[in-house]
Chain A
Amino acid sequence: MDALILQILNGLDKGSAYALIALGLTLIFGTLGVVNFAHGALFMIGAFCAVTLQRILTLSYTVEDPTRTDFLGNPLKVDTPYVVHWFGDSIGHGIIEWAVPLAILFAIPVMLLLGYAMERGLIKHFYKRPHADQILVTFGLAIVLQEIIKLFYGANPIPTPAPDAFKGSIDFGVMIGFAANAIIYPAWRLVYFLFATVIIGAVFAFLQFTTFGMVVRAGMADRETVGLLGINIDKRFTIMFGIAAAVAGLAGVMYAPINSPNYHMGMDFLVLSFVVVVVGGMGSLPGAVLAGFLLGVLESFASMNEVKSLLPGIDQIIIYLVAIIILLTRPRGLMGRKGVMEE
């Protein structure tokens, strides 16, 4: 039982990332009708916002310490971050330690601006072009963004730790009535799941309870009619593109301590997230979230040794297998609407 709960936690954790990326993809597809293959790159850039802030906070000046020597026997060069110099040892190191959560504040404007620039600068020119053209141009854009990151940050993963308070694990079993040490789970992964839940909730609340959201939802249902009412729906959709980029970016920021960011990490998630969108139903926001968590949990169960001993290799194909079954039985996906991506 405890093994099952562990895998459910793992699945929810993975599903959080899938759901956040798929949510952004669906927002863009539902509003602008664009299949955005650059969305994984936005997730990756979000993670690199955390790396960038960490580097900014650790900008240092160097002083030689004549009492100590380096590996060559020369006086040791000691780097002291300016933040530590300005705010003192404990506050300075505390700020550096909390670089990842602080990067949320840094990433929001960066991702909103990036999303806005992407939409206005490139993607808007492809609204009336076939989906194949949109896929090609956004995929190309993803590669360009990847290479830019590789140029500045190199090809290797960059360790980006969580704050010390969340570095270890917590006894989750005790919290739900199990014996001590039965279910130990990394603290930051639980934080990630909670964070994803809050972001997803906030996006839904924004669309459901604000006038802006109401107009966007109306535009998603019938763009022409909303336009005829004199509402500038294009402007709102552009803002939604920025919001979708910010959601992907925040997913990336908080993912940085789980897996050290590297320039290719967006591509690792992109294909799976598209499967999530299709399984959830093209254009359906609740469908994307539901499918994200569902596929995350299924993938985790498939990784259990008991399952793999019965079906070797199932952990590598489970998501695609489920996608095939769902699309055969429910061609529009779990919560897909009639008329979306249908001639």
Chain B
Amino acid sequence: MSKKFILNRRSVLKYGSAGAVTALATPYFFTRGALAEGENYLNAPKGDTVTFGFNVPQTGPYADEGADELDAYKLAVDHLNGEGDGGCLSTFSSKVLKGNGVLGKKVAYVTGDTQTKSDAARASAKSMIEKDGAVMITGGSSSGVAVAVQGLCQEAGVIFMAALTHSNDTTGKDKKANGFRHFFNAYMSGAALAPVLEKAYGKDRRAYHLTADYTWGWTQQASIQKFTEEIGWETVNNVLTPLAATDFSSYIAPVLNSGADVLVLNHYGGNMVNSLTQAVQFGLRDKMVNGKQFEIIVPLYSELMAKGAGDNIKGVYGSMNWNWTLPDEGTKVFVKSFGEKYGRPPSNAAQTAYAQTLLYADAAERAGTFNPCGIVGALEGFDFDGLGNGPTHYRAADHQCFKDVLVVKGKEEPSSQYDTLEVVEVTPRAQVEYAPDNEMFAGGDLGKCNPGA
């Protein structure tokens, strides 16, 4: 009996290995076959459509953000194809997009669920590239996922337009020539937040960090620590928490007796909703420590998190890439377009997703090709406006966008369910800029664009 079992296991291993080798080899054949005749790049569109791949978390702790991003992508496709009210095509400073598709081709799309897991995200991006012929992948909602998918796109030879990814590493040590990020990063959050925190809470503070244990959490914690220590704060402790954690009580209890008077939650999405709610349940916000009122800071905010956390968010500082209440024309047009279609204002994740889709389409029009190297050339050093963030620059050295950053605070007296955050300062771009070789972004190599040929 046991002999038979062992033989079965071997045969399973044998056939399994053969299957795995076949599976590994298959993408290569797909890749070769996908190169269009006369077009020396991967997945060159042959018919009258061009396919974009929207790779977002539809399950997992960042599923809310993923759903909002997906809605924004669909809206962008509508506008590119001349449907709906055209949205930001009218306010975008570049005027090459006419609402008749991109390079004469109607935009089609495929979607994937990253599950907020790098392996699942790579698998779904791979499927979109190899089976669906996606010429561009966009998405995010977790820097771990974004970095993994960006690497895959570089190897495969398609463009990756990162959406919600805030880790310094995305355009730091893990930057890639085929990858572009419109969203701001952890360094910028620290640079924008610290002066506001100094004004609100003073120079003499002791901070305790709870940090999501992956690339985004690490770089955000390091950035916030750097900038708060520069204003005189002391960092009491930094405790890493698993991304899958839902109960933070064991991590919050030690904060109570640590001597800290500020808790920095380097958490996002569902993690942040749970950790903030539980921190408030533990009475942290009612506590006096070192003669000061205990404070909580959430360095990276989103409207969806604010909604999930409810009243707990009131008075809590954080930073954002964009907010739907901004007064500029690009914002107004986008909020109207999104709001009329979906019945709610867009989040800053949705805005970056929308902007990235338009930026890619615009780059293709200006370059006259979907060839990744043409897109890279068109986006590097590109200056634009009218998408909601004010004048913005896509830096060639690391493919990071530079623009103003918002410091926000949970609103004390919200007038509606969407009126959760108030912009307390628009930090000018100059204050959050850094050199490409800044130590927090050191290492890695942008490399050369890969057209997949």
Contact = CB atoms under 8 A, between A and B. Distances in A.
Interface of A: 2-3, 6-7, 10, 13-14, 70-72, 76, 150, 154-157, 159, 161, 167-169, 181, 184-186, 188-189, 258-260, 262, 265, 268, 299-300, 303-305, 308, 315-316
Given A3-B253, A3-B257, A71-B339, A169 B282 contact: yes
B246 interface: yes
A304 B254 contact: yes
Contacts of B282: 169, 184-186
B340 interface: yes
Given A3-B257, A71-B335, A169-B283, A10 B249 contact: yes
B104 interface: no
B308 A71 contact: no
A316 B242 CA distance: 9
22 contacts: A14-B247, A71-B335, A71-B345, A71-B416, A72-B336, A72-B340, A155-B59, A155-B63, A156-B67, A156-B270, A157-B308, A159-B310, A168-B281, A168-B283, A169-B282, A181-B288, A184-B282, A186-B249, A186-B282, A300-B250, A303-B251, A316-B242
B120 to A, nearest CB: 13
B237 interface: yes
A157 B310 contact: no
Interface in B424-452: none
Contacts of A184: 256, 282-283, 287
A260 B253 contact: no
A13 B281 CA distance: 14
Contact of A157 (B273, B283, B324, B339): B273
A44 to B, nearest CB: 12
Contacts of B225: none
Contacts of B324: 71
B45 interface: no
B281 A169 contact: yes
A167 B251 contact: no
A258 B277 CA distance: 9
Nearest to A265: B246
Interface string B215-246: 00000000000000000000001010010101
Given A159-B308, A169-B281, A186-B282, A305 B254 contact: yes
B345 A259 contact: no
Contacts of B59: 150, 155
B64 interface: yes
Nearest to B115: A155
B274 interface: yes
B239 A305 contact: yes
Contacts of A315: 250
B246 A259 contact: yes
B165 interface: no
Contacts of A305: 237, 239, 254, 258
A300 B184 CA distance: 37
Given A156-B270, A168-B281, A168-B283, A70 B416 contact: yes
B168 interface: no
Output the residue of B237, B251, B253, B308 with the most chain A CB within 10 A: B253
| 10 nearest CB pairs, A to B | A303-B250, A169-B283, A186-B281, A184-B283, A155-B59, A6-B253, A155-B63, A72-B339, A259-B246, A3-B257
Chain A at the B interface: mostly helix, strand, loop or mixed?
mixed
Contacts of B114: none
B416 A259 contact: no
A93 to B, nearest CB: 15
B150 interface: no
Interface in B165-188: none
B257 A2 contact: yes
B58 interface: yes
A10 B254 CA distance: 11
Interface of B: 58-60, 63-64, 67, 237, 239, 242, 244, 246-247, 249-251, 253-254, 256-258, 270, 273-274, 277-278, 281-283, 286-288, 308, 310, 324, 335-336, 339-340, 345, 416, 418-419
A155 B60 contact: yes
A7 B58 contact: no
A333 to B, nearest CB: 25
Contacts of B419: 71
A71 B244 CA distance: 34
A304 B278 CA distance: 17
Contacts of A316: 242
Contacts of A76: 416
B145 to A, nearest CB: 16
Contacts of B345: 71
Contacts of A14: 247, 249
A159 B249 contact: no
A159 B247 contact: no
A181 B287 contact: yes
Given A13-B249, A71-B339, A156 B416 contact: no
Contact of A159 (B237, B273, B340): B273
Output the residue of A6, A10, A71, A262 with the most chain B CB within 10 A: A71
A224 B286 CA distance: 61
Contacts of A268: 244, 246
B288 to A, nearest CB: 8
A265 B246 CA distance: 9
A259 B274 contact: yes
Given A156-B270, A181-B287, A305-B258, 4 more contacts: A3-B254, A71-B419, A169-B283, A268-B246
B247 A259 contact: yes
A163 to B, nearest CB: 13
Contacts of A159: 273, 277, 308, 310
A7 B253 contact: yes
A260 B286 CA distance: 23
A258 B237 contact: no
A246 B243 CA distance: 31
Contacts of B273: 157, 159, 260
B250 A7 contact: yes
A186 to B, nearest CB: 4
A317 to B, nearest CB: 12
Contacts of A155: 58-60, 63
Nearest to B324: A71
Contacts of B283: 168-169, 184, 186
A10 B244 CA distance: 19
A188 to B, nearest CB: 7
Contact of B253 (A10, A71, A154, A167): A10
Output the residue of B250, B256, B257 with the most chain A CB within 10 A: B250
A112 to B, nearest CB: 28
A10 B288 CA distance: 22
B270 A167 contact: no
A147 B33 CA distance: 37
Nearest to B67: A156
A234 B75 CA distance: 58
